[in-house]
Structure 1
Amino acid sequence: MAKFVRSSKYRHVFAGPPRKETVWDGVKLTKNAWDSNFVSVNPSWIAVSWQVGGGGAVGILNANTATKITDKVAMFTGHKGAIYDLEFSPFNDSLLATVSEDCYGKIWKIPDGGFEGPIDKEVQNLKGHQRKVGYVAWNPVAENVLATGGTDFAVKIWDVTTGDEKFSFAGHGGIINSINWSYDGSTLVSFAKDKKVRCFDPRQPGTAAEGNGHQGVKGGRALWLGKHDKIFTVGFGPSAERQYFIYDAKNLSTPLVGPVNIDSSAGVLMPFYDEDSDLLFLAGKGDGNIRYYEIEPEASPKPEVYFISQYASNEPTAAIGMMPKRGCDVNSNEIVKLFRVYGTKLEPLSFKVPRKSDLFQEDIFPDCRSDEPALTADQWYAGENSKPKTKSLQGGFVKREATSTNFQMKDDNEPVLSEADLKKENAELKKRVAYLEAEVAKLNAQLHN
């Protein structure tokens, strides 16, 4: 009997080992054990959570020039605690958001003329979380709208131009492990330590849908499958096996797919989804290999997941980030580009579709997300929704001229205290009250004698 071979444009996607001259050497990746990607990339810059003696820092590298990194690396250094997560704005390559152990979020701007030394002053400070802030995600449709997730179980929405907290969702029952926006930027999906996956519009409090997630002790991740109303999650099963689920975003009560066991490795899986090809990449912390799959989210009666191949390396992955599609090289049929940190090196991994023709391949490069927002922040706050603006990649992506953002910093330097700090302050106040009550009792006794 003849073997059936599934027809797909992406069956032969591959990534070869990068050339030595394309690899950065001298990266000092943060040593903190938080489970985030620690790398963010756009066509101009690479941001890496950097190891420093005190506080938190971000190293900034030119995405188009691989070098031997010296001690004079461009750096943002304003956080007082380790940086847990970071992400570039989808509409301005020079704007970077960071969140930290110090309970703050911050917005940074890469100077037009480049760095003259470390920058320790942010352009905006985001104050409101009561405990460490673990995750950050820019809205993919509305300009200057940012989501952060904290260990105070809250997801907050910020206007980064004013530093105002616009909305807050406090419906989680555990530390938040991940947050991710839907294709049209209307809804967030989260995964938390209470082993629940949740979908919610942060503009409408109390409207969250939730379902049971992975039941293992370790954390998980959840993300939207691009343009489809499907949710993909990765995590650990009750026997510590790594696994995935696929849910219908409109009904999280029962997974459409899964649990599907992947392996029994211990590292947290970091998923990346290319919405234009429906390819999913899974990179595990401590893994040398990166698996990739093709997903048919609208297959009937349930989504189908097809393993394609894997990039294999003897070096364990410590951190990884994904280039936006507008930064991929269409001339070489590069459909996905990942930047992986291992040891002190950062390497680009170029995943390509092999084609003999040197003409633009329209079937594998549909119009992709533009760097122009579809909505203003005020339109989004008022409840408007929109699909992202798109642009053709034929001839290469033409970058729009970035508009100037006017940041209005608040004159408020009072720190937000952590739970431990609040307990300590409360105990000290109780001691002070007890001392004063004892002094009053002594004075009363003297008056009556």
Structure 2
Amino acid sequence: MSRRVVRQSKFRHVFGQAAKADQAYEDIRVSKVTWDSSFCAVNPKFLAIIVEAGGGGAFIVLPLAKVWQIPDYTPMRNITEPIITLEGHSKRVGILSWHPTARNVLLSAGGDNVIIIWNVGTGEVLLSLEDMHPDVIHSVCWNSNGSLLATTCKDKTLRIIDPRKGQVMTERFAAHEGMRPMRAVFTRQGHIFTTGFTRMSQRELGLWDPNNFEEPVALQEMDTSNGVLLPFYDPDSSIVYLCGKGDSSIRYFEITDEPPFVHYLNTFSSKEPQRGIGFMPKRGLDVSKCEIARFYKLHERKCEPVIMTVPRKSDLFQDDLYPDTPGPEPALEAEEWLSGQDADPVLISLRDGYVPPKLRELRVTKRNILDVRPPSGPRRSQSASDAPLSQHTLETLLEEIKALREQVQAQEQRITALENMLCELVDGTD
């Protein structure tokens, strides 16, 4: 007599639920371009969505708190004006990814098949990785400390790259045999999780050990849908969420050291297909409700939050669900990383909710453009190596200081008038 053994996991009953209608963002014209991207990015404060616009390149940024503060004075700077413009690609840029541990280090990849790594604090190109990809780059992912990159390309090759050495460390041709786009992300254990298509156009997921690319650790066929599967990986729980473009569902799997290594957990389903999706960092979740993931699902003209929770009866903080997680504070400066140093992410506790740390002193040797407010009015052509602030910038800053002082003076006069009125009322009462 056989007995079925159910695998033990605290994530077997992860429950997905769409937020109420009053929590959704309405009347958003999501971009209709055919690029296989999530079209959405989110952090604990803001939601950014790529929208439809003539000429392309437009996006909106919405505050998640939904409380808008209108200033008492007219802003001196046009907020649609960029702080810095990075120019280096010869064709359209389709991939952006921040370094996980180094300050102001940004990766970009474009239709020119080139990967450029920038220091956005100074506007400099740190590294340019050319002649590594003969065709369009589909995805790029950093490992946990930012020492390696995993890339997928239209030539059907999965590559592991050391960006500072400018070398392909190892590669695997046809990790998925189909011609449709493939995606790859690093896992907590250093493995590579991939999504792609079989030769018969079935969607497929795989798990690979970069030290032995000959055979997959796991390979599973899923279905025959056409949508590219976008993987979102949570290293704290080792859960990967698969969101297909055009699907009306989100499937999630737990990655473990036990066969079959990639374990199906559940599926969140809804009526409307998703045009794109954003994934909230762990520090933006509500730990009091045992929320372990939150997505921002894009419809044709709406953005809808989808919340994933692990039901628990206790109201106490659940230590097993919320280990210390990577925070926003960088562990390295850009120059340190470029010189060869590596550091793990700076971890924070979510026990009392996320509290932003005090900004530590910068250790950069060059002027950081992001720390300087740009002038209002028309922008002049300016290179990243420009010397200190121009006379035009100084005059603009002085004008803003003058305007703020006038506002303070007006407020002080108003306070004095109110105090006089209060004294008159008190005297009249006596």
Of 309, 313, 321 in structure 2, the residue corresponding to residue 364 of structure 1 is: 321
Matches within 5 A, 1:168-317: 168-170=128-130, 171-212=132-173, 213-225=175-187, 227-258=188-219, 260-296=220-256, 298-299=257-258, 304-317=261-274
Of 139, 148, 152 in structure 1, the residue corresponding to residue 99 of structure 2 is: 139
Amino acid across the alignment from 2:255:
I
Identity of matched residues, %: 37
Tell me what 2:33 maps to: 32
User: Matched residues in 1 for 2:341 and 2:260: separation?
Assistant: 30
Answering whether residue 350 of structure 2 is matched by residue 350 of structure 1, we say no
> Could you say if the C-alpha distance between residues 8 and 221 of structure 1 is closer, same or farther in structure 2, counting changes exceeding 3 Å?
same
Contact conserved, 1:335 with 1:353, CA < 8 A, in 2? Answer: yes
> Could you say if the C-alpha distance between residues 381 and 339 of structure 1 is closer, same or farther in structure 2, counting changes exceeding 3 Å?
same
Residue 18 of structure 2: SS of its match in structure 1? coil
Amino acid across the alignment from 2:302:
K
Residue 146 of structure 2: SS of its match in structure 1? coil
Residue 240 of structure 1: SS of its match in structure 2? coil
Contact conserved, 2:159 with 2:168, CA < 8 A, in 1? Answer: no
Q: CA deviation at 1:115?
A: 8.2
Tell me what 2:344 maps to: 387
Q: CA deviation at 1:263?
A: 0.5
Q: Which has the higher contact order (CA 8 A, sep 6+)?
A: 2
> Could you say if the C-alpha distance between residues 251 and 66 of structure 1 is closer, same or farther in structure 2, counting changes exceeding 3 Å?
farther
Q: CA deviation at 1:8?
A: 0.6
Structure richer in strand, relative to its length: 1
Contact conserved, 1:285 with 1:317, CA < 8 A, in 2? Answer: yes
Residue 349 of structure 1: SS of its match in structure 2? strand
> Could you say if the C-alpha distance between residues 114 and 229 of structure 1 is closer, same or farther in structure 2, counting changes exceeding 3 Å?
farther
Q: CA deviation at 1:2?
A: 3.2
Deviates more, 1:345-354 or 1:212-221: 212-221
Contact conserved, 1:269 with 1:285, CA < 8 A, in 2? Answer: yes
> Could you say if the C-alpha distance between residues 53 and 116 of structure 1 is closer, same or farther in structure 2, counting changes exceeding 3 Å?
farther
> Could you say if the C-alpha distance between residues 114 and 373 of structure 1 is closer, same or farther in structure 2, counting changes exceeding 3 Å?
farther
Count of residues in correspondence between the two structures? 365
Tell me what 1:21 maps to: 22
Deviates more, 1:26-35 or 1:49-58: 49-58
Matches within 5 A, 1:65-144: 65=66, 119-144=79-104
Of 354, 366, 372 in structure 2, the residue corresponding to residue 397 of structure 1 is: 354
Residue 316 of structure 2: SS of its match in structure 1? coil
> Could you say if the C-alpha distance between residues 116 and 274 of structure 1 is closer, same or farther in structure 2, counting changes exceeding 3 Å?
farther
Residue 326 of structure 1: SS of its match in structure 2? helix
Residue 16 of structure 1: SS of its match in structure 2? strand
Residue 10 of structure 2: SS of its match in structure 1? coil
Contact conserved, 1:24 with 1:66, CA < 8 A, in 2? Answer: no
| Structure 1: 5+ residue stretches without partners | 68-73, 75-110, 414-449
Deviations 1:259-313 (A, max 9, x none): x2110000111110111001110010110011011111x33xx661111111001
Residue 167 of structure 2: SS of its match in structure 1? coil
Deviations 1:17-42 (A, max 9, x none): 32111111111111111111110000
Q: CA deviation at 1:347?
A: 0.9
> Could you say if the C-alpha distance between residues 198 and 338 of structure 1 is closer, same or farther in structure 2, counting changes exceeding 3 Å?
same
Amino acid across the alignment from 1:153:
N
Tell me what 1:419 maps to: none
> Could you say if the C-alpha distance between residues 219 and 338 of structure 1 is closer, same or farther in structure 2, counting changes exceeding 3 Å?
same
> Could you say if the C-alpha distance between residues 137 and 126 of structure 1 is closer, same or farther in structure 2, counting changes exceeding 3 Å?
same
User: Matched residues in 2 for 1:363 and 1:137: separation?
Assistant: 29
| Structure 2: 5+ residue stretches without partners | 363-367, 375-380, 385-430
> Could you say if the C-alpha distance between residues 115 and 292 of structure 1 is closer, same or farther in structure 2, counting changes exceeding 3 Å?
farther
